[in-house]
Amino acid sequence: MNWQWFHRLSSPKWFYQISGSLLPWFWGISLILIVAGLYQGLYNSVIDYQQGSTVRIMYLHVPTAFASMMFYVVMAVAAAIGYIWRIKLAHMAAVSAAPVGAAMTLLALVTGSLWGKPIWNTWWVWDARLTSELILLFLYLGFMSLHQAFEDREVGDRAAGVLAMVGVINVPIIHFSVEWWNTLHQGATISKFEKPSMDPSMLIALLLMIFAVILFCSAVMMYRMRNEVLSREQSKSWVKEVIGQ
Amino acid sequence: MSMSEFLDMGGYGLYVWSSYGIALLVFGGLFVGVKLQRKRLIKQLRRLYRQQAKINTESQQ
């Protein structure tokens, strides 16, 4: 079997070049989606008959919560690929996904709190969904501090990678927490298999914001990975050429 | 809808606008954070390469 394509894909130099031409598109399209999503979410959509305008917090809360779990899976899969096949670029991806995921987890918690106060009459409850999301934040923070704790970056990659892989068990727990335990938090409103139970104007706003957040976070992660490539490959002649310009 | 009605958000303005304000700070922070990281890194690498070049020319003399 020919593995050349695999090695090419995992080459830091190749990644640096291809990501450089992709990034402007990522920034541009995510900006357009954010503007459209904000217009639709804050202005052009109906409000909930019980929750009133607080429902507009959903257009931040759901996308950031989704991204918080998605980027954890990305981080864990990247760490596993790096661990098993010893691919440097995969470890760089894992390290770059962590701060983005942590930021999204923080936002999901804060927007949830600001939504909970007027609707549940409390900022916080120790129920399954909220607690497991808080654990997700600690997993991200644990990954980042463990990675920084080692003098040798490659040892840090592997140690923090193990934490990322073990912690991935928390992601399905977050997802199913609202079904497995009694909780204040509501269940999913949109799913792949059923017709969504919300007004089309709300659904458009939500989908726009979900794509906007995912694309923006991917751009930040890609940018971060480029920094990581330059830093780790600093002794290579092609990096010296890039920096020298 | 008037501007003040829009800002009031049916009495929930404080919660809605703080959510969007904090989100703006976090997304802005991510963006500025990676840009600054790159700037610092390039500066640091340029200095390193200059030092290496200096050592190389000195050792040749």
The tens-digit pLDDT sequence of chain A (245 residues) is: 566 666 777 899 999 999 999 999 999 999 999 999 999 999 988 888 888 889 999 999 999 999 999 999 999 999 999 999 999 999 999 999 999 999 999 999 999 999 999 999 999 999 999 999 999 999 999 999 999 999 999 999 999 999 999 999 999 999 999 888 877 888 877 766 666 678 889 999 999 999 999 999 999 999 999 999 999 999 999 999 999 86
Q: Is residue A135 part of a domain?
A: yes
d(CA A141, CA A156): 14
Tell me the residue type at A56: R
Are B9 and A118 in contact (CB < 8 Å)?
Answer: no
The reply to whether A145 falls in a domain is yes
Is the reported ipTM for this assembly greater than 0.90?
Answer: yes
Q: Residue A180 has what pLDDT?
A: 87
Please check whether residue A205 lies inside any domain of the structure. Answer: no
Which of B26, B40, B34 lies closest to A26, judged by CA? Answer: B34
Q: Degrees (nearest 5) of the Cα angle A58, A59, A61? A: 55
Q: What pLDDT is attached to residue A208? A: 97
What the block records as the tokens of A112 is 């949830």
Are A119 and A143 in contact by the 8 Å Cβ rule? The answer is no
Residues of A in contact with B37 (CB under 8 A): 224, 227
Whether residue A236 is contained in a domain is answered as no
Q: Do A230 and B12 lie within an 8 Å CB cutoff?
A: no
Q: What is the model's pLDDT at position A192?
A: 61
CB B12 to CB A220 under 8 A? Answer: no
The confidence score (pLDDT) of residue B58 equals: 85
- What pLDDT sits at residue A2? 64
What would you measure as the largest C-alpha separation in chain A, in angstroms?
63
User: Are the C-beta atoms of residues B8 and A50 closer than 8 Å to each other?
Assistant: no
- DSSP codes joined into one string, A8-59: HHT-HHHHHHHHHHHHHHHHHHHHHHHHHHHHHHHTSSPPBTTTBGGGGGHH
pLDDT at A245: 61
pTM, rounded to two decimals = 0.93
User: What is the number of structural domains in chain A?
Assistant: 1
| pLDDT higher than threshold 70 for residue B45 | yes
Contact between residue A92 and residue A232 where contact means Cβ atoms under 8 Å apart: yes
Report chain A residues whose CB lies below 8 A from the CB of B42: 230, 243
Spatial CA neighbour of B20 closest among A70, A123, A37 = A37
pLDDT (tens digit, 9 = 90+) per residue, B1-22?
A: 788 888 889 889 999 999 999 9
Find where tokens 């330059």 sit. A230
pLDDT for position B60: 79
What range defines the domain where residue A71 resides? 22-191+211-228
Cβ(A75)–Cβ(A225) under 8 Å? no
Measured between beta carbons, which residues in chain A are less than 8 angstroms from residue B6?
43
* Facing A57 at nearest CB: one of B19, B26, B37: B19
- Give residue A193's pLDDT: 63
